[in-house]
Amino acid sequence: MKIKTIPSSWISREGRRLDCGPYMSGALETKIRLEELSARKDSLQSLTKGHNGGIYNGPKFSRTWVDSPEYGVPFVGSSDMLRADLSDLPLLRKKDAESNKLSYLRLAPGMTLISCSGTIGRMVYARPDMDGIWSSQHIMKVVPDPAKIPSGYLYAYLSSKFGVPQVVSGTYGSIIQSIEPHHIADLPVPRLGDAVEQRAHALVEEAARLRTRATHLLAGAIQKVQMHADLTPLTEITSPMPFSITLVSSTLVKERFDAFFHSSYHKQVVEQLQRAGVPLKKVRDIADSIVEPTRFKRIPVDDPAHGVPFFGTSALMWNEPLPSYYLPRRQKGIDEYIVTERAVLVPRSGQLSGIIGTAVLPYGQLVNGAVTEDAIRINCNDERDSGFIYLFLTSSFGIRQLKSRAYGTSIPHLDVKQIGEVLLPDLGEDVQRQIGQMGLDVADMRDKAIHHENEAIRLVEQAIEEAA
C-alpha cells in the first residue's frame, strides 16, 4: 500500500479526479518540473503525423488466423512486442489486414509502441525487422514527423523517468486499465537542442539496427546448421498440437504413452534427423550439466544496490529482460539461481502455444542475475557449445522436440531427462563451434543494443536535469 499527501491544487489541476493514479505515478511532479524548464516544450500531438494525427491504437476486431505466409501477415500484441525474436508470430489473414479498417495498424520503423491496455506504459522502438507486422488495438502507435523531431529522441524521452509517469497518469479503469490517444496528446516534449536530440536518436537507431542484425544472424545460423546436417526446412505449423494420425510400434509406447509424443509433429523431426548424413548426439552428450534448481523461500529487498536481480521466464524472451524484483546477495541458496553467459535457459512449464521449450542464451542483466527455477539450465564448459545448443534448440528441429517431450494435461512440463534426450546433429567440433560462435554473437548484439538504448535515455534525463 502507498500513502501520499498532496495539495488540493493538484486535484483542481487534474479536473478534480479522485482516483489515485495521476497523483501516485509521479506525473504531476514531472509536469511541474518540466514547466520550470527553460527549454521550449512542444505538445506530443504537434510532433506526430499520420492516421488520427499520428497517435492511435486501433479498433476491436475479429481475428482470423491462417497458416501460410502467402495469405497472412505477422501479428503482434502488446506482450509479444517486447520479445527479442518475432519470427514465430501468428499470421492474421492478409485480406483483413489490408482492408481499410485495419491497414493503418501496420508497423513501420521509427514508431514508438506503447502498451495501452493491461500493463500500461511498456514501450518498444519499432525496428527494421518489425516493418510489415500488424499490431493489435492494445498497442498505441506514436508516429513522429521526422521534419519536426528525431524519432529516436522522442522514444528516448517517452521511455525516460520524465516520460513514463506522464504516459501512465492517464490510466483509467479498475479491472483492466487502459489509456487512449487523447490522454497523451498534450504531453509536453522538451526540445533539448540538436546535439542532444541527434545523439539520442543515433543511439536508439543503432540499438534497433543491432537487434535487427541479431535476428538475421539467428536465422542465418539456423540455416547453416540445417545445411551442414543436410536437413530440409520444416513446414511451419501455427497450431501447437496439429491433428495427425500415426502408427507406432508397441516397443516405443513402453516409455511414453501420450499421443503428442508419437504424433507426426514430432515424428517428422526425428525421422529426418535419423536420415541425415551426419551422426547424432543428444543434448546431454554435449552439455557439462543440465540443472533444475530447487525452490527456496524468496525475500525481496527494496534497494537494488543490495540485491541480485531476479527474473521470471517471461522476461527471458524480452528485448531487455527486466527483473521482477531483487533478492539479497547473501540469501541461502541463491548461488544455485545465478546464471552465466554459458547457460542455455529453457522454460520448463506452460502451455504448448507459449514459451515452454523456447531456449534463450543470457544477455543484459540476465548474465550473473538470478533466474527462476522454472528455467532449466544447460551448462557447457565451452561457451561455443552453449551457442550451438541454443541455435539448434531455437530451430524448428529443436523446438518441436522440446514441446513434444513435455508431459501433463493441464500445465505441460519438461524436466532434465527430457531435455537431455533431445537429438542434435554432430557436425564435428570445428564446424559446431564456428556455428556456436554465431549464437554467442546474437546474444552479444542484443546486449550491446540494451546498452545503446539505455545510454540514450540517460543522456536525455541528464540534459533535462541540467537544464532545470
Query: 468 or 272: which carries more pLDDT confidence?
Result: 272
Residue 320 contacts by C-beta under 8 Å, 6 or more apart in sequence? 364, 450, 453, 454
What pLDDT is attached to residue 296?
83
CB atoms within 10 A of CB 132: 12
Express each pLDDT in 42-101 by its tens digit: 999 999 999 999 999 999 899 999 988 999 999 999 999 999 999 999 999 999 999 999
pLDDT at residue number 412? 93
What pLDDT was estimated at residue 260? Answer: 82
For 348-369, what is each residue's pLDDT tens digit?
999 988 999 999 999 999 999 9
Q: Say yes or no to pLDDT of 385 above 50.
A: yes
Q: What pLDDT, on the 0 to 100 scale, is given for residue 179?
A: 87
Q: Which of 244, 271, 247, 273 is nearest to 260 (CA)?
A: 244
Q: What percent of the chain has pLDDT over 90?
A: 72
List pLDDT tens digits, range 285-327.
999 999 999 988 888 998 888 899 999 999 999 999 999 999 9
pLDDT exceeds 90 at position 4: no
| Distances, alpha carbon 317 to alpha carbons 47, 112, 197, 309, in Å | 32, 20, 30, 16
Instruction: Report the candidate in 284, 279, 294, 271 with the shortest Cα–Cα distance to residue 419.
Output: 284
Asked if the model's pLDDT at residue 23 lies above 70, the reply is: no
Is the separation of the CB atoms in 414 and 357 below 8 Å? yes
Residue 174 has pLDDT above 60, yes or no: no
Q: Which of 321, 304, 331, 310 is nearest to 355 (CA)?
A: 321
Per-residue pLDDT at 175: 46
Tell me the domains of the chain and their CATH numbers.
8-206+451-467 (3.90.220.20), 232-275+279-426 (3.90.220.20)
With cut-offs at 50, 70 and 90, classify the pLDDT of residue 254: low
**pLDDT single digits (tens) 197-253:** 999 999 999 999 999 999 999 999 999 999 999 999 887 766 667 777 777 776 767
- What integer pLDDT is reported at residue 468 of this predicted model? 72
pTM beyond 0.75: the answer is yes
pLDDT of residue 2: 67
Per-residue pLDDT tens over the stretch 214-226: 999 999 999 999 9
CB 202 within 8 A of CB 152: yes
Percent share of the chain, pLDDT over 70: 93
